[in-house]
Amino acid sequence: MLMFCPTCANILGVEEGPKALRFACSTCPYVHNITKRIGNRIYPKLKEVDDVLGGSAAWENVDATEATCPKCDHTKAFFMQIQTRSADEPMTTFYKCCNMACSHRWRE
């Protein structure tokens, strides 16, 4: 936590005084003894993560193929291909299990 000098508005540094630690200004004679622990925690708000596959709307008009789900062993899965790397790399195939009770997603 930063403390500022009320006289000249510079940042106060911590120094050891005759009895305890104290805040002291480096440009003027202002000194403030530390009598209790000062602390303040501010947690930043995490930004929302976008679904890179387009969310549930991306799976609306996709085709199904013969693929075995690794979770429930269902034999059909929806699939879509997306270029996730550079153009000289092959496309990544994403699968979603056709079994509505499972809906497991995986990729190859």
CB 31 within 8 A of CB 22: yes
98 is in an annotated binding site: no
Rounded to whole angstroms, how far apart are CA atoms 12 and 15? 9
Was 102 annotated as part of a binding site?
yes
Q: Is 5 annotated as a binding residue?
A: yes
Tokens of 97: 């299990």
Return binding residues for Zn(2+): 5, 8, 25, 28, 69, 72, 97, 102
Return binding residues: 5, 8, 25, 28, 69, 72, 97, 102
